[in-house]
């Protein structure tokens, strides 16, 4: 059955791949872009079924107006895919507070604004699916992208809480923890903080160099990710957390093992902080 799908950030990358796959499956897709000249290009993908909207996701009021427009002009939003986002690369000490604030403005606050805008209609209709686009960096800490990872940890946490709040209302919620996909994320879309402190050279320089070398050669295929997402949207019981990419799976499992090791090693100290049984 055809659905009305709202996707933020469809001008390129995974957002574009998600839109193409959804259109190929016969769905109506409303995609947001940041430049006026990108609208016609997007709508040309499927005239009559692809609608482009100009939107800055950091403008809460604009996000609400965009969803109202979709609901009044096209129909209720069946699926939200909150995809718009970017990455800041840099050590914590070298990155600025403005870097952190803008990272959260786009990746976290923009995502939450879109979620809050679609929820009232989904709640009234007792149906809908909200998809947040996260990252392996949102399920395991990676050096050199602390601000980006923090924003995605926030998205993962918000998604998991929301899923429990709305399950009884017939609304599904899924976070996609993505590995490295062959998009512009690690290229022109990434904000790279200038290096200023030599003490981090031995740790961070190899990380930055490896990411730049890997750009354009990532193992993740955006088209395959889009097909996986369509499978989730068609599922009767979709997952709250879905990892996409073998690299993501490996790194997340390694990170979880480190966490489990810490918890186990300090379990006695953990237990020592509770009142004795029967007290």
H helix or E strand, kind and range, residue 4: strand 4-8
Cα–Cα distance for residue pair 147/137, rounded to 1 Å: 10
Interacting residues of 193 by C-beta distance below 8 A, sequence separation 6+? 88, 89, 90, 91, 94, 95, 96, 99
Is 214 among the residues known to form the active site? Answer: no
Residue 139: how many CB atoms within 10 A of its CB?
21
| Catalytic, out of 121, 151, 152, 200 | 152
Cα–Cα distance for residue pair 56/64, rounded to 1 Å: 11
Is 86 among the residues known to form the active site? Answer: no
Is 152 among the residues known to form the active site? Answer: yes
Count helices and strands in the chain by DSSP H and E runs: 10, 9
Helices (H), the chain: 13-24, 37-43, 60-73, 97-104, 110-125, 146-166, 201-214, 222-233, 246-265, 267-271
Residue 127: how many CB atoms within 10 A of its CB?
14
| Catalytic, out of 134, 135, 151, 200 | 134
Please name every residue paired with 13 in a beta bridge, in sequence order, or none if there are none: none
Residue 103 in tokens: 């990272």
Residue 81 in tokens: 């895919």
| Catalytic, out of 20, 148, 151, 200 | 148
**Residues marked as catalytic:** 134, 148, 152
């Amino acid at each position: 059955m055809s659905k009305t799908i709202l996707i933020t950030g469809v001008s390129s990358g995974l957002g574009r791949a998600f839109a193409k796959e959804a259109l190929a499956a016969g769905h109506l897709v409303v995609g947001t872009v940041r430049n006026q000249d990108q609208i016609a290009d997007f709508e040309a993908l499927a005239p009559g079924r692809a609608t482009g909207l100009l939107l800055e996701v950091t403008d809460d009021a604009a996000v609400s107006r965009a969803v109202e427009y979709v609901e009044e002009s096209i129909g209720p939003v069946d699926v939200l895919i909150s995809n718009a986002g970017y990455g800041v690369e840099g050590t914590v000490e070298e990155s600025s507070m403005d870097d952190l604030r803008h990272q959260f403005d786009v990746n976290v606050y923009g995502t939450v604004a879109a979620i809050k805008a679609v929820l009232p209609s989904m709640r009234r209709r007792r149906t809908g699916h909200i998809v947040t686009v996260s990252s392996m960096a949102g399920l395991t800490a990676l050096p050199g992208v602390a601000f980006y990872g923090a924003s995605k940890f926030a998205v993962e946490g918000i998604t998991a809480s929301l899923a429990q709040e709305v399950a009884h209302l017939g609304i599904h919620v899924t976070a996609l923890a993505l590995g490295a996909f062959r998009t512009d994320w690690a290229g022109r879309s990434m904000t790279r903080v200038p290096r200023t402190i030599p003490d981090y050279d031995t740790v961070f320089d190899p990380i930055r160099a490896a990411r730049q070398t890997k750009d354009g050669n990532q193992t993740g295929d955006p088209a395959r990710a889009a097909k996986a997402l369509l499978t989730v949207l068609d599922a009767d019981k979709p997952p709250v957390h879905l990892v996409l990419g073998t690299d993501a799976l490996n790194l997340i499992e390694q990170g979880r093992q480190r966490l489990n090791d810490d918890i186990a090693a300090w379990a006695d100290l953990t237990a020592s902080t509770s009142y004795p049984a029967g007290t």
